[in-house]
Structure 1
Amino acid sequence: MHVFITGATGWVGSAVTDELLKAGHEVTGLARDRNKAAALAAAGARAVEGTLDDLDVLRQAASSADAVIHTAFNHDFSKFMEAAAQDQHAIEMLGSALEGSDRPLLVTSGLLGLPPGATEKDAPGPGPRKSEPTARALAERGVRAATVRLASSVHGIGDWGFVPILVRMARETGVSAYIAGLQNNWSGVHRLDAAKVYRLALEQGVTEPVYHAVADEAVPFKQIAELIGRHFGLPVEPRDRDHFGWFAHFAGAELSASSAHTRSVLVWEPTGPSLVVDLDQPGYCA
């Protein structure tokens, strides 16, 4: 299978690229510059240069592929609304290139806006990020589009996601904090286990509208704060939401979820370390 991947050199996308290549698939990845293109070539993939704003590039690359995986997203949260709009337009273009065929599209999203302990059957509430609603709209037009919802922490050595944000905040403020009065949970998945969900979904024909790449279904946020505090010798204390600034929306969210259905239909069994075990490794929070 020839798969076109956006975000192919990113934290999740690079793991997906490696997983597909190891399984014998061909990969073409979107690369925003020559250095990224060289990294893809070194991994054994082809590269097409461009960004999510280059809609003609996206259309051409998707039209030439047997399947498309969209993992790219601009995580500059100071420009979140612009990033969400860019994401939506990119997904619409990728879907239009596949429309009228049976070639699948896997779109990436998260768990924010879902109920506690969410299952694959739960629909997200309204929010600025339109990844999943756009995929659902494409599916209604006959595109074989589905969404992979990632756990709140896609972890592993080299992590540049939410945990490093908490680490920076703890080191800058001198306290590893959790929100006072809350007992909220995050979820976790090792990046290599997440990559397997994408591969298995493609190989099995993308039969479901939603997949959950979730290994640890409910990890107390306070426990994450305690691990960070222990690593840096910092006190672990409750703080009000203002302490977290713009990140309070994530720090205080209930992001637990079930992956029972995904495990069953894909015969997916995570084998990587749990979030707690990973965070407890020397050097993870360096």
Structure 2
Amino acid sequence: MNIVLTGSLGNIGKPLTQELAQKGHSVTVISSNPQRQEEIEAMGARAAIGTMQDINFLSQAFTSADIVFLMETMEAVGDTFDKSVDFIGQITHIGQHYKQAIERSGVKKVVHLSSIGADMDRDNGILLFHHNVEQILRQLPTEVAIKFMRPVGFYLNMFSFIPTIKRQGAIISNYGGDTKEPWVSPIDIAAAISEEMDQPFDGRMVRYVASDEVSPNEIARALGKAIGKPDLQWRVISDEQLLTGWLNIGFNEQVAKGFVELQASQGNGKLYKDYYRNRPTLGRVKLADFAQDFALAYHND
């Protein structure tokens, strides 16, 4: 099949490109960075250099594709310390560009990398842009079949714990405790996307993707053991304290408030209601596996 991937060679795009190319698919990877072209081609794929803000470029890139894979990231629109960026607004615009490009190109099969929380129009913090993009794509004609992939929180987000562990000797958040929540590896996300591309498309479907279900205190114990700090604690502070801390280090206000709200929703369980109604089979990469990667990053930081 002729498959076009947005998102360049990131944490998901790279293993997905490798897997699809190995399966014999004709893969085109869209990247805004010309320096990525050589790496893309070395993986057996074709590079299409352009931006998600360019509707004409997207339309041309999507033309003749059997399947288009769509994703949008905060990194694609700006730095989280840039106080002038409207992340939710700009990413929502990318969703509108995707819709127009699909309509113009005639693509009939779409896989969209959305997120946990995309079912919610409030209480999902910064993830609101995923809800917005899903709603935009659902406006496409019914003959366009869409698979919405909703991964849960990435293990990779835990790398943000490293500075706080080193400075304050603890993981610090506005929620914690012993209630389990799902986490996921990009490897398992890429595998789920590849699997869905090989399955029939019909209408609109949602699939959650998770690798393990663990509590904040279990995370602290696992990461602490891996880095040689077996007494590492997950410490809970108030929403106000967390927000003040993030604003003081220069975070974009929308981002800071968005993550505080998101993490509060993790703690009270609102974020996971639809996930548990549609609970997936867990992937193969467990917290213990990621803890080894965390330890390498921690000691090399």
TM-score after normalising by structure 1 = 0.78
Structure 1 unaligned blocks of 5 or more: 114-122, 156-160, 264-268
Give yes or no for the alignment of 1:223 onto 2:218. Answer: yes
Instruction: Let me know the Cα RMSD of the aligned residues.
Output: 3.0
CA distance in 2, matches of 1:11, 1:96: 27
Q: Is the 1:226–1:236 Cα contact (8 Å) retained in structure 2?
A: yes
| SS across alignment from 2:89 | helix
CA distance in 1, matches of 2:180, 2:81: 25
| SS across alignment from 2:113 | strand
| SS across alignment from 2:94 | helix
CA distance in 2, matches of 1:147, 1:4: 16
CA distance in 2, matches of 1:139, 1:250: 24
Report the equivalent of 2:88: 84
CA distance in 2, matches of 1:180, 1:152: 14
Give yes or no for the alignment of 1:236 onto 2:214. Answer: no
Q: Given the superposition, is the C-alpha separation of residues 176 and 138 from structure 1 closer, same or farther in structure 2, using an over 3 Å criterion?
A: closer
User: Share of identical aligned residues, percent?
Assistant: 19
Report the equivalent of 1:141: 140
Give yes or no for the alignment of 1:283 onto 2:296. Answer: yes
Q: Is the 1:107–1:132 Cα contact (8 Å) retained in structure 2?
A: no
| SS across alignment from 1:200 | helix
Q: Given the superposition, is the C-alpha separation of residues 63 and 79 from structure 1 closer, same or farther in structure 2, using an over 3 Å criterion?
A: farther
Give yes or no for the alignment of 1:195 onto 2:190. Answer: yes
Q: Is the 1:147–1:209 Cα contact (8 Å) retained in structure 2?
A: yes
How many residues in Structure 1 have an aligned counterpart in Structure 2?
Answer: 264
Q: Given the superposition, is the C-alpha separation of residues 260 and 253 from structure 1 closer, same or farther in structure 2, using an over 3 Å criterion?
A: closer
Q: Within 5 Å, give how 1:50-199 maps onto structure 2.
A: 50-75=50-75, 76-78=79-81, 82-99=86-103, 101=106, 103-112=108-117, 123-126=119-122, 129-142=128-141, 143-153=144-154, 155=155, 161-179=156-174, 182-199=177-194
Give yes or no for the alignment of 1:209 onto 2:205. Answer: yes
CA distance in 2, matches of 1:53, 1:38: 23
Q: Is the 1:224–1:276 Cα contact (8 Å) retained in structure 2?
A: no
Q: Is the 2:180–2:215 Cα contact (8 Å) retained in structure 1?
A: yes
Report the equivalent of 1:29: 29
Q: Is the 1:139–1:146 Cα contact (8 Å) retained in structure 2?
A: no
Q: Is the 1:180–1:239 Cα contact (8 Å) retained in structure 2?
A: yes
CA distance in 2, matches of 1:104, 1:228: 40
Q: Given the superposition, is the C-alpha separation of residues 95 and 178 from structure 1 closer, same or farther in structure 2, using an over 3 Å criterion?
A: closer
Q: Is the 2:146–2:205 Cα contact (8 Å) retained in structure 1?
A: yes
| SS across alignment from 1:210 | strand
Letter of the aligned partner of 1:214 in structure 2?
A: A
| SS across alignment from 1:105 | strand
TM-score after normalising by structure 2 = 0.74
Q: Which has the higher helix share?
A: 2
